């Protein structure tokens, strides 16, 4: 009996020691995850968030008034905001963006919206303390400073079929640049079904004998080529010319230009467009940002770029659209002042 008790005690000691060793091992090899501590945002931080969201929507600072605020039981703030904004801006989206930013920083905040005679009053509380009070009032007379962008994809007809289908399904009204060629006719005719347009590009890639524009051709042959080009690509919006190409630098260019003009087309040099053809992504984004935010020149801009580069600037388009800028078909761009086909 005594031996049995000794064995039992020994087994229990072994089990206890084993569990102790296991617990120590778990503590040593398990990485403890510290939960982030959410700190309460100050009134100034919430106000800064408010100002940033207004700026994201292109709301001019002169449309925002800050006035003294006093209310019983609401002594945590001393001022309130009155914002007059263009009626085109959806106020619920502004409120949603403010809430989204604040939610990333803290938990337990409360946002309240109240409709008052067409205006929207918002209040933001943290820990039951009022941190922001603002009244947003739409005004149909106010207009944001905004740009209009059009995009011509230089290689739309040269990319792989999968990418071409992707180009067709982009939700923006893009245009393709097409060097006249019989093999491109059916593809060009398909663009309209996808709300896409195209321009013709006169460059050194035109090889078809019925469409070539070379100085070896006599005037009648050149006229025939021009007629064939315009008949085959009846939906072309504009005719552009590559300035580095042999046509532009040849003795026949003036004749070709005048023949297109007789047919209601002005040949547009590619330098008329803002070319974004660099392979350096940082340089590309910097250049696009510069032209998009530049207010010293016309606000209607036409960009000429590869489909790959268009994909790289796509995230920035959402930012500028939020500020009120629009993406319009090339046929609705400032090129309308130059002759093209409706």
> Are 78 and 152 part of one and the same domain?
no
> Are 167 and 303 part of one and the same domain?
yes
Torsion of CA 57, 58, 64, 66, to 10 degrees: 60
Burial class (CB in 10 A: 0-12, 13-18, 19+), 338: middle
Q: Are 151 and 314 in contact (CB under 8 A)?
A: no
End residue of a domain, out of 90, 106, 139 = 139
> Are 284 and 333 part of one and the same domain?
yes
**Model pLDDT for residues 76-107, shown as the tens digit of each residue:** 788 899 999 999 999 999 989 988 888 766 54
Report DSSP state, residue 194: G
Q: Has residue 223 got a pLDDT over 60? A: yes
Q: Give the N- to C-terminal CA distance of the chain in Å, as an integer.
A: 109
> Are 75 and 101 part of one and the same domain?
yes
327/320 Cα distance (integer angstroms) = 10
pTM confidence score? 0.79
CATH assignment of the domain containing 88? 3.30.460.10
**Pairing verdict, β 129-139 and 79-86:** parallel
Q: Which residues pair with 268 in a beta bridge?
A: 240
**Model pLDDT for residues 282-300, shown as the tens digit of each residue:** 999 999 999 888 766 668 8
Most confident stretch, 8-22, 49-63, 107-121: 49-63
Host domain of residue 302: 148-337
233/186 Cα distance (integer angstroms) = 9
> Are 100 and 191 part of one and the same domain?
no
The reply to whether 27 falls in a domain is no
247: Cβ contacts below 8 Å, ≥ 6 apart: 202, 203, 204, 213, 214, 241, 253, 256
Within the chain, how many helices (H) and strands (E) appear? 9, 13
End residue of a domain, out of 81, 106, 139 = 139
273/13 Cα distance (integer angstroms) = 85
**Model pLDDT for residues 1-43, shown as the tens digit of each residue:** 555 556 555 665 666 566 665 566 555 554 444 444 455 678 8
123/130 Cα distance (integer angstroms) = 7
CATH assignment of the domain containing 243? 3.20.20.370
> Are 108 and 181 part of one and the same domain?
no
């Amino acid at each position: 009996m005594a031996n049995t008790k000794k064995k039992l005690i020994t087994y229990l000691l072994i089990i206890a020691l084993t569990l102790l060793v296991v617990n120590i091992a778990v503590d040593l090899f398990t990485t403890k995850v510290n939960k982030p501590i959410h700190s309460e945002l100050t009134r100034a931080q919430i106000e800064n968030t408010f100002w940033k969201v207004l700026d994201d929507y292109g709301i001019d600072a002169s449309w925002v008034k800050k006035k003294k605020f006093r209310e019983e039981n609401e002594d945590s703030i001393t001022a309130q905001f009155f914002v007059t904004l263009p009626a085109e801006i959806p106020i619920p989206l502004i409120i949603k963006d403010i809430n989204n930013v604040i939610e990333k920083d803290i938990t337990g905040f409360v946002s309240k919206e109240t409709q008052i005679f067409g205006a929207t009053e918002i209040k933001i509380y943290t820990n039951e303390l009022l941190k922001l009070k603002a009244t947003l009032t739409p005004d149909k007379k106010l207009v944001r400073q905004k740009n209009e962008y059009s995009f011509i994809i230089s290689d739309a007809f040269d990319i792989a079929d999968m990418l071409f289908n992707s180009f067709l399904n982009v939700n923006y009204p893009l245009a393709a640049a097409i060097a006249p060629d019989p093999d491109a006719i059916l593809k060009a005719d398909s663009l309209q079904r996808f709300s896409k347009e195209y321009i013709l590009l006169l460059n050194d890639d035109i090889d078809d004998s019925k469409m070539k524009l070379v100085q070896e051709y006599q005037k009648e042959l050149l006229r025939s080529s021009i007629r064939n080009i315009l008949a085959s690509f009846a939906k072309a919006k504009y005719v552009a010319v590559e300035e580095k190409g042999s046509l532009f630098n040849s003795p026949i260019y003036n004749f070709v230009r005048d023949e297109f003009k007789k047919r209601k087309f002005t040949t547009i040099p590619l330098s008329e467009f803002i070319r974004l053809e660099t392979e350096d992504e940082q340089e590309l984004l910097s250049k696009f940002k510069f032209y998009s935010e530049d207010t010293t020149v016309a606000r209607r801009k036409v960009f000429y770029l590869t489909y790959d580069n268009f994909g790289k600037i796509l995230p920035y388009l959402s930012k500028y659209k939020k500020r009120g800028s629009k993406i319009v078909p090339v046929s609705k761009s400032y090129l309308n002042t130059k002759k093209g086909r409706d």
